[in-house]
Amino acid sequence: MDHQQAQDEFSDYVDGTLAQAARAELEQHLAVCIQCRTELAKFRQTLGSLGRLKQTAPPTLLTDVKQQIYRRSRGRFFAPRWKLFGRIPFEWISLATIIAMLVYYLAILHGSPTGVRPAP
């Protein structure tokens, strides 16, 4: 195993997902290679530093989002759904339209023509 092959295994090794045989081979290499041991230590240090990168959201986040929603929806977003001019029930309107079209279609299909007599 050379340095490149060893370092290609670092992620799987650190994540604990390296197969048993590959792990043993890498550990054998690490035991005799100070360069790869140093690189592995730096690699672990990098992951440790990444894991400590935490930023908290601004304390005004909740208020800011609420204001944006109220402003964009003109206060209707949190209005009760049954309220007049509250939230428009698009799903019910769509369903009613489809049913109306279906009824109309069936009426045309099965309705008997009136006032038209077949030619003799």
Partner 1 sequence: MSLAERLLIGRLRDRDPSAFEEIVRRYGDKVFNLVYRMLGNRHEAEDITQEVFITVFKTVDTFRGEAKFTTWLLRIAANQSKNRIKYLARRPTDSGDVEEAGGPAPGVAATPGPIAHGQIDGPDILLEAAELESLMQKAIASLDEEHRLLVILRDVEELSYQEIGEITGLPEGTIKSRLHRARMAIKEELDRNTK
> Quick check: 97 binds partner 1 (CB under 8 A)?
no
Among residues 28, 46, 94, 97, the one that binds partner 1 under rule CB under 8 A? 46
Whether residue 36 contacts residue 29, with contact meaning beta carbons closer than 8 Å, is answered with: yes
Candidate list 20, 21, 32, 52; residue touching partner 1; CB under 8 A: 52
Ranges assigned E (strand) in 1-120? none
Which residues does 87 contact at the CB level (< 8 Å), separation at least 6?
Answer: 76, 77, 79, 81
Binding positions for partner 1, rule: CB under 8 A: 7-8, 10-12, 17, 39, 42-43, 46-47, 49-58, 61-62, 64-66, 68-69, 72, 77-81, 87
